[in-house]
Amino acid sequence: MKKKVVVIGSGPGGAATAALLRKKGHAVTLIESQPFTGGRCASFSKGGFTYDFGVHMFSRGNSGPHGEVNRMLEGGLRWKTHEPAARVMGKVEFDFPLDIRSFLTQVKVAMKLNVKPSCYLGAFRLFRALLKGESIERHDGTTVETFVDSYTDDDRIHLFINCLCQLYFALSYKESSAGEFMWCFSRMFNEASFGYPFGASKAIPDSFLERFEQAGGILKINEKVTRIEIEKGEVRGVRTEKGFYPAEVVVSSAGALPTILLSGKEHFPETYTTSIEQKKGSNAYITLKYALDKKVVPYPTVFYMPNLPGRDVFQYIEDKTVPDDVYIFMPVPSNQDPSLAPPGTQLVIAGTAAPRFASAELCNAILDKIHQKVCDLFPDFSKAILWEIRSSRKETSDLTGLDNGSCIGLGQTPDQSGRFHLNSETPVAGLYLVGADAGSRGIGTELAVGSALNLVRRL
Amino acid sequence: MSEYDVIVIGGGINGLTCAAYLGRAGLKVLILEARGECGANCDACEPGMPGFVHNLHTTWMITGASPCMDELELESHGLEFSTTDVCYATTFSDGKNVCMNGSDPFKTIEYIRAVSPKDADTFTNLISVAMPLIDEVCQGYHDVIYTPPKKETMERFGRVVEGVLKGVGLNFSFEDAYNKMNGFDIMDMLFESEHVKSMLLSLSWISGLAPINTQIGVLGAFLAPITGMLIPVHISKGGGHGLTHALVKAAKHYGATILPCCPVEEIIVENGVATGVRLSDISVYPGKVIKAKKIVSNLTVVPTFIEMMRKEHIDPGLYEAIKQFSYEEQNIFSVHYALKGQPEFASAGFNRSVQRCCMGYFGSEKKGEMKKYNENLVNSVIHDEILANWFIPTLADPTQAPPGCHTAFAWFDVPPSPKAWKNRALNGFEAWDTIKHELADEVTEQFEKHIPGFKKLILDRIIYTPMDMFKNNPSSIKGNWAGGSVIPEQWYEKRPVPGVLKKGSASRTFIENLYISNSIHPYGGSHLSCGYMAASEVAEDMGVRNQSWWNKRAMDWHLQNSAVKVPVNLGVDSKWKSVE
């Protein structure tokens, strides 16, 4: 039975849902409130530089859900992978390999990380458990910190895993679910296809949307949804500033809580609404985008681990203060796809986690810290800057519609991961959620695209 | 005025290594090779059916643990390794096997647990104590293998071993054990299962350290368990000659000249100082004399001093001692097969991992069998049972056979001049051509026992005896692959013959300006240590040792790169793929 479907939001989750449903023959309209498509994956252009709004880490690249949807749609999405994958900087400096399955590489990583020799074996057992990814469900309810503690108390390992958690989930490892972390880690390193899409992050939703439109899907941009119309527990359609779109199925990638508010709380059982209201969001991510007049950073990606005790490196997020030293994830998109910057120049994106609801002043102070750190790491950096663009918590909120600035949405905490993670079903017939909030497992946009795959298989 | 700074006699892998180092250090180097091509003992060829490359000599490459990897930039000169994750397996006729996983010691522990939980626990303890000492272990390996023999070096290494054994609750004096125990004793002390013991002992043996010996067997017993983890099991892509080719390219790249078909007749010595060489009348430059400041002989000790040097330059006592130098151990008999399919091991039902293993051992299941074999070997008797190191190189590097086909071979130590086999008297070295087919049939039967259906897979069979090896390379007297027997009388400070080397040197001989890069410590092998040490000493004496690039340590390359750069066959369930 072919249905009338409205999809809200053109991020990777919405775009994948729309394109896949259209491919199945449904009549699909995709409505995007912004004047541009892509949601959290949006990229923009300035002076020949194509930069991402956020900092993205596509841990599984072509072998993950992005690649799977691309293959289903026979799309043209291509990935660049690097071996070694990233440059670790900080107190120690080394190239982090993409393939760490071999014991020898693990020895090397442990040595380079400066792990205490007495903690080597614990570190190897930890790597091994993470790579194996067995009994994930059993570990869902534990925090990553507890999990790591059961193997080693080495500060360097704790620092590394803590920073990796922040990168994966925008949460400190004290808040992240060990099962979820294990799932992501084992897939990332076993599939070894960590990469960056050619054409910047927006290439992901764009390639889905291209297939969607080619297949006759209708895309409306710059049109804000004002109401999801529901009658007698069944969805009827979507009202926007410009009109009404009747629909039997509405798929919202606007996030769980915004979707409830758009529909009206009265249509949902109170328990459902409260449970969602009480869910914890991920941290905010704030970024600095640099246009440089020459190539300064020779690495595809930089992973800077601050010189702080491993357990407390993200204490500043709890305290809402400026840290002494700051963890930075810094992809260099133009090193991965040279077409993203004019010849001879370089595009660098540096980001870190910030507290939810962080004030503009606090965000700016943390961004100043990043700026200073990046300039310290690369002596030629400050002289080469053509311009920089700052995205703080407020810009993220504007883009995602989440006041707290959560960059992923619901946090992948022990009580919100795996089987406790929200799924696509809602109490309203015909209304479904996709996006990071509704995904089952994965990192950032993989949750979103994965949720689209799951939903489309069911519908 | 010398035409060359250094002449290297013999373009084997160690001669090439030495020349490449010295070339890189800025010296003008000439390599004189008697044959038409370099690398006599590190070669691979197609002696039988076309398309099947047989590694008649070096197959197991441990070059990955050598400092030469970085210092001679061997990768950029075309050296490529490949391997299988299960790097070693001992198969037994009781249907069991014990495997070793080169990329994951925890898997090795699982494999051991299947035959002996107690030994698995011991192995776990050994690893947990040894791992934190990884830096000391690497340094110890470097010192023992890549620096001139010194009592203190072995003592230091002994202290690392003592530290590890203390961690597993054994009060152990390395010095006592080193001189009084042998490899068998050490294994009996550590493990209970014959399966596990024979896996580790065979590893020690095939790497050249026969377990029956004191000192040598003890060292081998402690190095064997780190095989796979720290001592790599690599196969050179395209065949064993890949290493030779890379070294030739490196030597040429650093400016060395290589002259093939130039056998040397005489090392010219004037007043106890080597000044040059005279080429043989059958060389392409008959009788030509070439002078150099330093001469390095990459031939073994007998050809160097007895055949290429006038007797008057050598003290009569030393002359006799050199003539007595033993070439009777580390001589091998090998049988090479071209196969039309992949062999299926009888023990695959016990542990299927054996199916993706490129190197292993069989025949050692009976308690004491290996010891009897080793004793027979010492007494120049060919052992009845075939205990042999087998390879299926195509599992790691499919390019060595046509698609779908495989190569396999087995090699084992034999007495080069056998006196007896199966109650049959034999007339020594000359016997090889008469018994080789019968002996090869025994090897085929042993394969059939461990791999049912093996015979049906055979397309072609090549036999290679110590006699063939000698004919191929007359410096390998009696077909000895190690540059002379590795036995306590010819080990470490005593190698090759007391009095040949200057005190405290690895390669400087009693003839001024003459160095030797064969028959010296530790022994010839793909670790390239002999060439490395000769190069170090020549460079020191020429004042060019101090080079910014010449500072790597053994295992450096392996730890840094191996896991990433060496393609590993993980079997059919591999998910590995890379995407551009």
Using H for helix, E for strand and C for coil, what is the string for B481-517? Answer: CCCCCCCHHHCHHHCCCCCCECCCCCCEECCECEEEC
Q: Does B580 touch chain A (CB under 8 A)?
A: yes
- Looking at the fold, whether A205 and A245 belong to one and the same domain comes out as yes
Report yes or no on A155 lying in a domain: yes
**pLDDT bucket at A392, cuts 50 / 70 / 90:** confident
- For residue range B227-269, what is the model confidence (pLDDT) as tens digits? 988 899 999 999 999 999 999 999 999 999 999 999 999 999 9
Q: How far is CA A413 from the centre of its chain?
A: 15
Report yes or no on A87 lying in a domain: no
Report yes or no on A163 lying in a domain: yes
Backbone angles phi, psi at A272, to 5 degrees: -65, -50
Tell me how far apart the alpha carbons of residues B316 and A167 are, in angstroms, rounded to a whole number: 75
Report the pLDDT value the prediction gives residue A148, as an integer from 0 to 100. Answer: 97
Report yes or no on A298 lying in a domain: yes
- For residue range B255-313, what is the model confidence (pLDDT) as tens digits? 999 999 999 999 999 999 999 999 999 999 999 999 999 999 999 999 999 999 999 99
- For the segment A320-349, the average pLDDT, to the nearest whole number, is 95
Give the minimum alpha-carbon distance from A250 to chain B in angstroms, rounded to a whole number. 36
- Looking at the fold, whether A391 and A418 belong to one and the same domain comes out as no
Tell me how far apart the alpha carbons of residues B311 and B314 are, in angstroms, rounded to a whole number: 6
- Looking at the fold, whether A274 and A298 belong to one and the same domain comes out as no
Residues of chain B found within 8 Å of residue A117, distances taken between Cβ atoms:
131-135
Those residues whose C-beta lies under 8 Å from the C-beta of residue A287, and which sit 6 or more positions away, are A53, A54, A55, A349, A350, A351, A390, A391
Report yes or no on A86 lying in a domain: no
Report the pLDDT value the prediction gives residue B580, as an integer from 0 to 100. Answer: 32
Tell me how far apart the alpha carbons of residues B166 and B170 are, in angstroms, rounded to a whole number: 5
Q: Is B510 within 8 Å of B521 (Cβ atoms)?
A: no
Tell me how far apart the alpha carbons of residues B346 and A316 are, in angstroms, rounded to a whole number: 61
Whether A80 sits inside 8 A of B580 (CB atoms) is yes
Name the average pLDDT for chain A: 93
Backbone angles phi, psi at A243, to 5 degrees: 170, -170
What CATH number is given to the structural domain containing A206?
Answer: 3.50.50.60
What CATH number is given to the structural domain containing B256?
Answer: 3.50.50.60
Tell me how far apart the alpha carbons of residues A28 and A209 are, in angstroms, rounded to a whole number: 12
Report the pLDDT value the prediction gives residue B2, as an integer from 0 to 100. Answer: 58
Report yes or no on A446 lying in a domain: yes
Tell me how far apart the alpha carbons of residues B49 and B337 are, in angstroms, rounded to a whole number: 10
Which residue type occupies A73? L
Domain that holds residue B552: 4-43+61-80+238-325+475-557
Residue B85's DSSP bridge partners are: none
Last residue of a domain, one of A142, A160, A191: A191
- Looking at the fold, whether A395 and A345 belong to one and the same domain comes out as yes
Tell me how far apart the alpha carbons of residues B506 and A25 are, in angstroms, rounded to a whole number: 79
End-to-end CA distance of chain B: give it in Å, rounded: 57
- The percent of residues in chain A predicted with pLDDT above 90, rounded, is 78
Q: Is A406 within 8 Å of A435 (Cβ atoms)?
A: no
- Looking at the fold, whether A76 and A25 belong to one and the same domain comes out as yes
Name the average pLDDT for chain B: 93
- Looking at the fold, whether A316 and A276 belong to one and the same domain comes out as no
Q: Which helix (H) or strand (E) holds B219?
A: helix B216-223
Q: How far is CA A3 from the centre of its chain?
A: 31
Report the pLDDT value the prediction gives residue B576, as an integer from 0 to 100. Answer: 38
Judged by phi (left if over 0) then psi (alpha if -120 to 50, else beta), residue A196 lies in beta
- For the segment A371-399, the average pLDDT, to the nearest whole number, is 92
**Token output for B110:** 């699982």
Tell me how far apart the alpha carbons of residues B476 and B470 are, in angstroms, rounded to a whole number: 5
Domain that holds residue A249: 4-80+199-280+410-458
Strand positions, DSSP E, A118-246? 195-197, 218-220, 225-231, 234-240, 244-246
Whether A81 sits inside 8 A of B568 (CB atoms) is no
For tokens 């006196």, name the residue.
B419
Which residue type occupies B569? N
What CATH number is given to the structural domain containing A128?
Answer: 1.10.405
Tell me how far apart the alpha carbons of residues B520 and B523 are, in angstroms, rounded to a whole number: 6
Whether A124 sits inside 8 A of B131 (CB atoms) is yes
Report yes or no on B55 lying in a domain: no
Tell me how far apart the alpha carbons of residues B213 and B196 are, in angstroms, rounded to a whole number: 20
Which residue type occupies B433? D
Q: Does B567 touch chain A (CB under 8 A)?
A: no
Domain total in chain B:
1
**Token output for B78:** 């075309």
Report yes or no on B218 lying in a domain: no
Q: Does B318 touch chain A (CB under 8 A)?
A: no
Q: Is B210 within 8 Å of B413 (Cβ atoms)?
A: yes
Q: What is the DSSP letter of A41?
A: G
Q: Is B515 within 8 Å of B295 (Cβ atoms)?
A: yes
- Looking at the fold, whether A40 and A177 belong to one and the same domain comes out as no
**Token output for B147:** 């620096």
Report yes or no on B285 lying in a domain: yes
Mean pLDDT by 10 residues, chain B (580 residues): 87 97 98 95 94 95 96 97 94 94 90 96 90 89 96 93 90 92 94 94 94 94 90 94 97 97 97 96 96 97 96 96 95 97 94 94 89 94 96 95 95 96 93 96 97 97 96 92 95 95 96 97 95 98 97 92 81 40
Tell me how far apart the alpha carbons of residues B364 and A316 are, in angstroms, rounded to a whole number: 63
For B579, which of A104, A105, A195 is closest by C-beta distance?
Answer: A195
- Looking at the fold, whether A66 and A9 belong to one and the same domain comes out as yes
- Looking at the fold, whether A226 and A321 belong to one and the same domain comes out as no
CB neighbours of residue A379 within 10 Å: 9
Residues of chain A found within 8 Å of residue B135, distances taken between Cβ atoms:
111, 117
Which residue type occupies A200? A
ipTM of the complex: 0.71
Residue A318 has pLDDT above 90, yes or no: yes
Rg of chain B over CA atoms, in angstroms?
23
Residues of chain A found within 8 Å of residue B104, distances taken between Cβ atoms:
102-103, 128
Strand positions, DSSP E, B206-288? 234-236, 257-259, 264-270, 273-279
Interface of A with B (CB under 8 A): 61-63, 78-81, 83-84, 97, 99, 101-105, 107-108, 111, 117-118, 120-121, 124-125, 128, 190-193, 195
Which residue type occupies B381? V
Residue A223 has pLDDT above 80, yes or no: yes
Tell me how far apart the alpha carbons of residues B455 and B72 are, in angstroms, rounded to a whole number: 43
Residue A198 has pLDDT above 90, yes or no: yes
Residue A91's DSSP bridge partners are: none
Residue B332's DSSP bridge partners are: B413
- Looking at the fold, whether A186 and A203 belong to one and the same domain comes out as no
Report yes or no on B280 lying in a domain: yes
Those residues whose C-beta lies under 8 Å from the C-beta of residue A44, and which sit 6 or more positions away, are A36, A50, A51, A53
Tell me how far apart the alpha carbons of residues A256 and A273 are, in angstroms, rounded to a whole number: 9
Whether A117 sits inside 8 A of B131 (CB atoms) is yes
Report yes or no on A93 lying in a domain: no
Report yes or no on A21 lying in a domain: yes
CB contact burial A310-328 (16+ within 10 A = b; e otherwise): bbebbebbeeeebbebbbb
Report the pLDDT value the prediction gives residue B73, as an integer from 0 to 100. Answer: 97
Report the pLDDT value the prediction gives residue B193, as an integer from 0 to 100. Answer: 94
**pLDDT bucket at A395, cuts 50 / 70 / 90:** confident
Domain total in chain A:
3
Those residues whose C-beta lies under 8 Å from the C-beta of residue B351, and which sit 6 or more positions away, are B96, B97, B99, B111, B114
Backbone angles phi, psi at B408, to 5 degrees: -145, 150
Last residue of a domain, one of A151, A175, A191: A191
Backbone angles phi, psi at B407, to 5 degrees: -115, 150
Tell me the DSSP string of B156-198.
HHHHHHHHHHHHTT----HHHHHHH-BHHHHHHHH---HHHHH
B:147-186 residues touching chain A, CB 8 A cutoff? none
**Token output for A426:** 């809602």
CA B464-B469-B474 angle, 5° bins? 165
**Token output for A418:** 């795996």
- Looking at the fold, whether A348 and A303 belong to one and the same domain comes out as yes
**Token output for B188:** 């009996």
Q: Does B355 touch chain A (CB under 8 A)?
A: no
- Looking at the fold, whether A357 and A304 belong to one and the same domain comes out as yes
Environment class of residue A135 by beta-carbon count within 10 Å: exposed (0-12), middle (13-18) or buried (19+)?
exposed
Tell me how far apart the alpha carbons of residues B99 and B267 are, in angstroms, rounded to a whole number: 49
Whether A81 sits inside 8 A of B578 (CB atoms) is yes
